[in-house]
Amino acid sequence: MSFRVKTHQSIASIDANDWNACAIPLNGPYQPFVDHRFLLALEQSGCVSEETGWQPSHIEYKHNDETVGLVPMYLKNHSRGEYVFDYAWAEAFYRAGRNYYPKYQVCVPFTPVTGARILVKQTQAKEEIESSLIQKIIDLTDDTGVSSAHITFLTQSEWSKSKLAGLLQRIDLQFHWTNEGYDSFDEFVAQLTSKKRKNIRRERRDVKENNLHIEWLTGSDLQEQHWDAFYEFYLETSSRKWGSAYLNREFFSLVSTTMSERILLILCRRAKKYIAGALNFLGDETLYGRNWGCIEHYPFLHFEMCYYQAMEYAIKTRLRSLEAGAQGGHKFARGYKAQPTYSAHYIANAQFRAAVARFLAEEVKYVHRDLDFLESQSPFRERTLSILEGDAAKTVHDV
């Protein structure tokens, strides 16, 4: 097939319908973070810009006059807001007298959520276009003299295709909650071990005893006053965790104006004063927890707002899963299960590429070890072990 390739310095220069025709599959679950509206709000608000170190460099692939493929890509002069850490690689480049930055980053900024990164319209040539776009990322890296290109939180299918193109592969872990068709939160809790059940009930009881009121807001219920309150909470948490906020106040207004039907804002108030909030985005099958903050401290309020309320919402609306972002030992103890996440990396310099490949070969051993350990420590009452007694598997009941 004959293609034309163009690189865009703003997603605004790409037609929203053309973008979403590639980003949102007709036969697949909707993913809010590759929606044109979400990425446009990041750019229009200035959260993503050359000034913040996120210069849009989106790739558009056209066949005749039809957009058939897209890549959300950014030229970056730092590694913040990515959640796949390569600071050690940058340091190694620096010590060798080379520059690691700028680099290309294919991702959704500030969003450690797995989803499509090579966006291709449904067509018989889909696989050919995907392979061509991955190769285009490599070619652009080489042609512009950029040190490297990184595709983060891509799907397992895209990850496999990237290996065929010669990209280095990396795995990490996140913790996701699965709705096993529960009719209530109590039914879910009943599946956990006795100790875990008692802990969760104690944490929830503590919140109730403090007379805190929790609200679910979505769609037209979302008002500017709610975003004013939430932004204060977000800034408070951002200053404690990483020193500066990635998102500004305008972003929340923009994204609420254009896609409020895909937002769930959970707010907590004491009397008439809002004191905490948790921001979630809605897919067709998954609830994505993104940001949280508070201005008054209560010991277990974070767990209530970010996990238990989100679980209750997912159960009520029949969503299949809940993803609450990076990190997560505390999530595991509350019924979340470890899931692999994937990234792919192209290092232009052959010597550094070989060094990074050796590092990744060692790192993956530790990731698999962690996964095996977590699977052996399930918080659920019943788990099947890989121990065979005769022809039957041994089932362990933890009460």
What is the residue-wise DSSP string for 3-57?
Answer: -EEEEES-GGGS-HHHHHHHHS-TTS---GGGSHHHHHHHHHTTSSSTTTTEEE-
The pLDDT assigned to 243 comes to 63
Residues in Cβ contact with 87 at an 8 Å cutoff, skipping those fewer than 6 apart:
79
How many angstroms separate the CA atoms of 161 and 156, rounded? Answer: 9
Tokens, residue 136? 């285009």
pTM comes to 0.92
The pLDDT assigned to 385 comes to 37
The pLDDT assigned to 361 comes to 97
Are 347 and 356 in contact by the 8 Å Cβ rule? The answer is: yes
How many angstroms separate the CA atoms of 174 and 353, rounded? Answer: 26
Q: 36-44 and 249-259 helices cross at what angle (nearest 10)?
A: 150
Residues in Cβ contact with 35 at an 8 Å cutoff, skipping those fewer than 6 apart:
20, 23, 24, 259, 262
- C-alpha dihedral sign at 242, 246, 250, 255: negative
Q: Which three-class secondary structure state does DSSP give residue 170? A: strand
Task: Look at residues 137, 123, 127 and name the one whose alpha carbon lies nearest to residue 157.
Answer: 127
Tokens, residue 228? 């004013």
For the chain, list residues with pLDDT below 70.
1-2, 240-243, 382-399
